[in-house]
């Protein structure tokens, strides 16, 4: 059946829910480490007087954390699709 088929008996299409859930999880892996590093980096730089050093290093580390988190989530979904043939 076409994934954009809205002519079901109840008039709804629930194929978008797994994709939306995956989008939220991956967006979280991007947003949370970056926001945390920005706030913590600014705070620690003010506290220790090392203006951009801690901020930049934590921002770089948050990028690495985000990349590994996205890879982890993507591998889970790929394994699930290969195992079940679905995204659910």
| Under 8 Å between Cβ of 52 and 85 | no
Q: Would you list the domain boundaries of the chain?
A: 17-84
Condensed to tens digits (0 to 9), the pLDDT of residues 43-84 reads 999 999 999 999 999 999 999 999 999 999 999 999 988 988
> What is the pLDDT at residue 10?
58
> What is the pLDDT at residue 11?
52
| Under 8 Å between Cβ of 62 and 36 | yes
- Of 74, 39, 75, nearest to 55 by C-alpha is 39
How does the average pLDDT of the chain come out, rounded? 86
4 alpha-carbon distance from chain centroid:
25
Q: Please name the residues in contact with 86: beta carbons below 8 A apart, sequence gap of 6 or more.
A: 18, 80
What mean pLDDT comes out for the span 11-24? 80
50 alpha-carbon distance from chain centroid:
30
Q: Please name the residues in contact with 55: beta carbons below 8 A apart, sequence gap of 6 or more.
A: 37, 38, 41, 42, 44, 45
């Amino acid at each position: 059946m076409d994934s954009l088929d809205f002519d079901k008996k109840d008039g709804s299409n629930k194929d978008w829910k797994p994709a939306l859930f995956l989008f939220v999880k991956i967006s979280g892996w991007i947003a949370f480490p970056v926001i945390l590093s920005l706030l913590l980096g600014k705070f620690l730089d003010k506290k220790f007087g090392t203006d951009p050093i801690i901020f930049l290093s934590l921002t770089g580390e948050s990028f690495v954390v985000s990349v590994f988190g996205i890879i982890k989530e993507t591998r889970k979904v790929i394994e699930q699709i290969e195992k079940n043939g679905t995204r659910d």
